[in-house]
Amino acid sequence: MLKRWMNQFIFSCKDVSFQVCNRASLGLLTRFRLFLHSLVCGPCRNYIVQIEQLDSSMKDLISSRQNSLEQTNLDELTKRIINKHGN
Partner 1 sequence: MATDNFSSPDFILRLKKKEMEAVSQLVEKYNPVLYRGAMAQLKEPVSAEEVLADTWEAFFAAIDRFEGKSHIRTFLFGILYNKIRERRRHNARFIDLENPDPIIDMQFANDGHWANQPMDPERFVGASQDLEAVENCLEALAEKQKQAFYLQEVEGESREEICKILEVTSTNLGVLIYRAKNQLRICLEAKAVGL
Q: How far is the CB of 1 from partner 1 (least distance, A)?
A: 20
* Separation in Å, CA 52 to CA 8, 12, 77: 27, 20, 36
Nearest CB to partner 1, comparing residues 2 and 83: 83
Q: Among residues 1 and 22, whose Cβ is nearest to partner 1?
A: 22
Half-sphere exposure of 59 (CA within 13 A, CB side): 5
Distance of alpha carbon 35 from alpha carbon 14, whole angstroms: 14
Q: Which residues of this chain interact with partner 1, rule CB under 8 A?
A: 12-15, 17-18, 21-22, 24-25, 43-44, 46-47, 49-51, 53-62, 64-66, 69-70, 73-74, 77-78, 80-82, 84-87
- Smallest distance, partner 1 to C-beta of residue 42, A: 8
CB of 45 to partner 1, least distance (A): 9
Query: Distance of CA 36 to CAs 19, 24, 54, 83, Å?
Result: 13, 18, 23, 58
